[in-house]
Amino acid sequence: MRWAITRRTMREGRAALNFWLGSCIGLIAAGVTALLIATAHDTVHGGVTVAAALYGAWTLGWLCGPVLTGSSDETLQPEQFRLLPLTTRQLAYGLGAAAFVGTAPIVNLIAFGGLVLLAAQIGWGAVLIAIPGAILQLVFVILLSRVVVAWLGAAMRSRRGKDLGVLFAALLGLAYYPLNLLVGALGPKLESEHGGLSVALRVLPSGWAPYAVEAAARGDYLFAVLPLLGLALLALVLWQAWAVLLERRLTSPAAAAGQVVDTGGGILDRFVPPTPVGAMLTKELRTWWRDGRRRAALLPLLIVGFVLPVFLSVRAHGSGTIPFSGAFVVWLATMSSANLYGFDGTAVWQTLVTPGAERADVRGRAYAWLIIVAPVSVLATLILPGALGKAELYPWAVSTLPVLLGVGVGGVVFLSTHAAFALPPQRGNPFTGSGNPGCSKLLMQLAVGLVQLLAAAPVLAMLGVGAGLRLPLLQWAALPVGLVIGGFAAVLGIRSATNRLGTHGPELLAAVKPR
This model's pTM is above 0.75: no
What digits encode the pLDDT tens for the residues 37-80?
888 666 777 788 888 888 888 887 777 666 555 445 556 777 77
Signed CA dihedral, 440, 441, 442, 446: sign only:
positive
Sequence-separated (6 or more) residues with CB below 8 Å from residue 211: 48, 52, 202, 227
Name the 3-class secondary structure at 287. Answer: helix
Kindly report the backbone phi and psi dihedral angles of residue 199, in degrees, each rounded to the nearest multiple of 5, phi listed first.
Answer: -65, -45
d(CA 21, CA 29): 13
- Indicate the domain borders of the chain: 2-251, 271-512
pLDDT at 346: 84
Q: How far is CA 196 from CA 66, 201, 283, 410, in A?
A: 31, 9, 53, 50
Given 3-state DSSP classes, what are the helix, strand and coil percentages for the chain, each rounded to the nearest 5?
A: 80, 0, 20
Burial of 13 (C-beta count, 10 Å sphere; 0-12/13-18/19+): exposed
Q: Show the CA angle centred on residue 33, arms to residues 28 and 35, nearest 5°.
A: 95
Burial of 178 (C-beta count, 10 Å sphere; 0-12/13-18/19+): middle
Q: What ranges in 263-324 are assigned the alpha helix state H?
A: 267-271, 276-290, 292-316
Q: Kindly give the parts of the chain with pLDDT less than 70.
A: 6, 9-19, 22, 40-42, 64-75, 152-197, 252-267, 292, 296, 300-323, 388, 424-445, 515
Q: How far is CA 487 from CA 277, 328, 339, 350, 382, in A?
A: 19, 19, 22, 29, 20
What digits encode the pLDDT tens for the residues 168-204?
555 555 555 555 555 555 544 554 555 566 777 788 8
d(CA 233, CA 210): 17
